[in-house]
Amino acid sequence: MHGEYKVPGGKLVVVDFDVVDDVIRNPRVAGDFFLEPDEALGDFDRALTGLPAASDAKQIAQAITAALRPGTVLLGFSAEAVAVAVRRAMTDARSWSDFEWEVVHDGAVPPRTHLALDEVLATRVGEGRRKPTLRFWEWDESAVVIGSFQSVKNEVDPEGAEKYGFEVVRRISGGGAMMMERGNVVTYSLYVPGELVQGMSFADSYAYLDDWVLQGLRGLGIEATYQPLNDIASPLGKIGGAAQKRLGSGGVLHHVTMAYDLDNAKMLEVLRIGREKISDKGIASAAKRVDPLRSQTGLSRAAIIESLKQTFTDLYGATAGSVTADELAEAEALAESKFATEEWLYRVP
């Protein structure tokens, strides 16, 4: 068995081992990480030897932690990272370089069509009918996009939404409400095969799938970091948030919205942001949570998107593509039959 895991923002962990009578034998942990003292490398191998092959990542990480000698220092990786590499070795996990990637940046479509495209394209990637894809959204309308499990009345002020022309729509992924004002957000979706995140927990996969954008933002001079579970942030505040949905086809939808610019007063009129939601943030108001890209870079929204597209292309050898006519037709039909209906929008009133 051979497994690899690149820690987001950290180092590569590689594991090789045999499975004999359903237990791990002859393990070897390697990588470009840093470890002190040198002798601690053998602790990893001893911890893995004899573990049941069916052990989950938590059990593996616990065994490693218990086996490490006092004073051991791990830099660029962790016991949990080794556990992920072991689990990926046990599955049909694959890496970014195993796929041909496509970058799509088409013109604007209505908000409900964007949401339908997410479902259609992720499904097709899972079925092998489309290459794994990064798609940037364009907007010529404004919308509030609420999470799959949120209550409309708890999240959106209808008078504020109507006043400023925000359509309210519901996506298929969980997470919180996002105020998508045209021209003021950078939104992208990743449609990936499930094999890319095999062996990872949901928490691990969030950071793993967005490591590329952190590199892109840092290239623009932003000190971007990932804040579990699903926030992209800088020292000055939150930049954006991610959400994810794993579909029955085997495809994974992972999408992110980052604030390019933000009218705080408008946000507080359109969204109902309760004190409980921000109680763990250590701040007095929701308006102070967000740190837009425009204020940090001075660049246009279009320039930021072009830079991020180039980062992804350089990392993974992606080629430019577009949504096909039949994909768009399927999405438009799904938008009308599902995303535009009151049954879907008010599934949680």
Q: What is the pLDDT of residues 121-146, one digit of tens each?
A: 999 999 999 999 999 999 999 999 99
Instruction: Judge residue 304's burial from the number of C-beta atoms within 10 Å of its C-beta, 0-12 exposed, 13-18 middle, 19 or more buried.
Output: buried
pLDDT band, residue 210 (cuts 50/70/90): very high
Dihedral, 60, 65, 66, 68 alpha carbons, nearest 10: 120
Contact 259, 178 (CB under 8 A): no
Domain 96-345 has CATH 3.30.930.10: yes
Query: Does 11 score more than 70 pLDDT?
Result: yes
pTM > 0.75: yes
**Letter string b/e over residues 199-225, b meaning 16 or more CB atoms within 10 A of that residue's CB:** bbeeebbbbbbbbbbbbbbeebebebb
What is the band of 287 on the pLDDT scale with cuts at 50, 70, 90? very low
Measure CA 126 to chain center: 17
Instruction: Evaluate whether 77 touches 44 at the Cβ level (below 8 Å).
Output: no
Kindly state the tokens that stand for 163: 């006043």
C-alpha angle 204/292/239, rounded to 5°? 10
Q: Where are the domains of the chain?
A: 2-89, 96-345
Q: What is the reported pLDDT for 290?
A: 72
Which residue reads 């006519």 in tokens? 325
Among 327, 328, 309, 307, CA closest to 319: 309
pLDDT at res. 291: 73
CB 51 within 8 A of CB 63: yes
Q: Percent of the chain scored above 70 by pLDDT?
A: 95
Question: Does the pLDDT value for residue 307 go beyond 70?
Answer: yes
pLDDT at 202: 85
pLDDT at 284 over 60: no
Asked if pLDDT for residue 276 goes beyond 50, the answer is: no
What is the pLDDT, as a whole number, of residue 229?
87
Output the pLDDT for position 289.
Answer: 55
Give the pLDDT band of residue 274 (cuts 50, 70, 90): low
pLDDT in tens, 215-231: 999 999 999 999 988 99
Helices 57-67 + 41-48 axis angle, to 10:
130
Hey, is 218 helix, strand or coil? helix
Q: Where are the beta strands (DSSP E) in the chain?
A: 2-6, 12-20, 23-31, 34-36, 73-75, 102-104, 133-136, 142-146, 166-170, 178-180, 185-193, 225-227, 231-234, 237-246, 251-259, 319-321
Query: In the chain, pLDDT over 90 holds for what percent of residues?
Result: 90
pLDDT band at residue 286 under the 50/70/90 scheme: very low
The closest of 63, 92, 104, 94 to 80, measured between CA atoms, is 63
| pLDDT value of position 282 | 41
Tally of CB atoms within 10 A around 58: 11
> Which tens digit of pLDDT belongs to each residue from 33-89?
999 999 999 999 999 999 999 999 999 999 999 999 999 999 999 999 999 999 999
pLDDT at 277: 54
Q: How confident is the model at residue 92 (pLDDT cuts 50, 70, 90)?
A: confident
Q: How far apart are CA 28 and CA 93, in angstroms?
A: 19
Specify the fold of 2-89.
Answer: Enolase-like; domain 1 (3.30.390)
Across the chain, what does the average pLDDT equal?
94
